Amino acid sequence: ADYTRFKTAVEHDPRLTVQVEPEMRYFAKQARTLARFIDVAGTIILVLMGLGAIFAALNTMYAVVSDRTREIATLRILGFGRAPILAAVLIESLLFALVGGALGSALAYLGFNGYEASTLSNFSQIVFRFQVTGPLMATGILDALILGLIGGLLPALRAARLAPADAIRTL
């Protein structure tokens, strides 16, 4: 009731050129602007880091396949088909990704959970607290597994297509 009367009085006074709104609505608008900025910046960083992670996984798994050419050729000579070799390399890539995702989630929890930051905008301060929750950590680990799967796919296909006779001749 008091707010409505005050707002009406301000709006009808031609000397005043201000906009009246409740404090909570004002800070909510400020927070939305900051949240949009963080979303855009976060998406850009996510894409760049994701691409970096995929190339790191590719590099690592190509090195693994290259180092194990003799073992892969031996498995093929012993009768293992392409599918089990493909699966073995993909599982190894997923295990690397799982360990990396779990370590990354643990470090994010230890470093940022409960961390408070603030910004000063238009003479008002917005304080926000980071919360690293279980579902957020699970999402990070799942994302790491997806990136590990993508990064391990080409090296796994290379290992599965390896001709045993050619592999042994080159060694």
Residue 19 confidence (pLDDT)? 86
Residue 129 confidence (pLDDT)? 84
Nearest C-alpha neighbor of 126 from the set 135, 117, 137: 117
Q: Give me the residues paired with residue 128 across strands.
A: 117
Long-range contacts of 50-57 (CB under 8 A, 24+ apart): 50/143, 50/147, 53/144, 53/147, 53/151, 54/147, 54/150, 54/151, 55/151, 56/151, 57/93, 57/96, 57/97, 57/147, 57/148, 57/150, 57/151, 57/152
pLDDT in tens, 124-162: 677 778 899 999 999 999 999 999 999 999 999 999 998
Confidence category of residue 34, pLDDT binned at 50, 70, 90: confident
Q: Give me the residues paired with residue 127 across strands.
A: 118
What length is written for the chain?
Answer: 171
The predicted model scores a pTM of 0.76
pLDDT in tens, 72-101: 999 999 999 999 999 999 999 999 999 999
Q: What is the distance between the alpha carbons of residues 155 and 117, in angstroms, rounded to a whole number? A: 42
Q: What is the distance between the alpha carbons of residues 25 and 124, in angstroms, rounded to a whole number? A: 13
Q: What is the distance between the alpha carbons of residues 68 and 76, in angstroms, rounded to a whole number? A: 12
> What is the residue whose two structure tokens read 């006074």?
13
Q: Give the C-alpha distances (Å, rounded to integers) separating 122 from 20, 41, 128.
A: 15, 21, 17
| Helix, strand, coil shares, percent, the chain, to 5 | 75, 5, 15
Q: Give me the residues paired with residue 117 across strands.
A: 128
